[in-house]
């Protein structure tokens, strides 16, 4: 599945798929700055693992963590020396887990 942020890089998105692509808003992100947004996904549980990465751009670091059942926090950091204004594409996948 795919989803696009509507108004800013911190806008919440919803995509109830086990994997997909998020297109971020193209607002500016300053050098060495970070922004966090929430991915609402009803398939995510507290025992899962979510991985996220940029499609091609290397000027960003992307981290994902499960905030709560159904919510993933995605943090994007501009690791370049200048401000960037790109509609960054992030791929994500849910790895189903279980505590035994």
58 CB-near residues (< 8 Å, 6+ apart): none
Q: What digits encode the pLDDT tens for the residues 26-71?
A: 999 999 999 999 999 999 999 999 999 998 778 999 999 999 999 9
Q: CA 86, CA 63: separation in Å to the nearest integer? A: 18
Mean pLDDT of 10-20: 98
Pairing mode, strands 60-68 and 71-78: antiparallel
Q: CA 9, CA 29: separation in Å to the nearest integer? A: 8
27 CB-near residues (< 8 Å, 6+ apart): 8, 9, 85
pTM of the model: 0.94
Q: Tell me if 94 sits within 8 A of 39, measured CB to CB.
A: no
Q: How confident is the model at residue 10 (pLDDT cuts 50, 70, 90)?
A: very high
Q: Both tokens of residue 32?
A: 């060495």
Percent of the chain scoring above 90 in pLDDT: 92
Q: CA 58, CA 79: separation in Å to the nearest integer? A: 8
């Amino acid at each position: 599945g795919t989803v696009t942020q509507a108004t800013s890089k911190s806008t919440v998105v919803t995509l109830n798929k086990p994997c997909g692509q998020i297109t971020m808003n193209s607002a500016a992100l300053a050098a060495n700055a970070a922004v966090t947004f929430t991915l609402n996904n009803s398939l995510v549980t507290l025992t899962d693992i979510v991985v996220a990465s940029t499609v091609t751009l290397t000027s960003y670091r992307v981290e994902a963590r499960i905030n709560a059942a159904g919510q993933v926090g995605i943090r994007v950091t501009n690791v370049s020396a200048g401000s960037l204004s790109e509609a960054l594409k992030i791929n994500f996948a849910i790895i189903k887990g279980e505590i035994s």
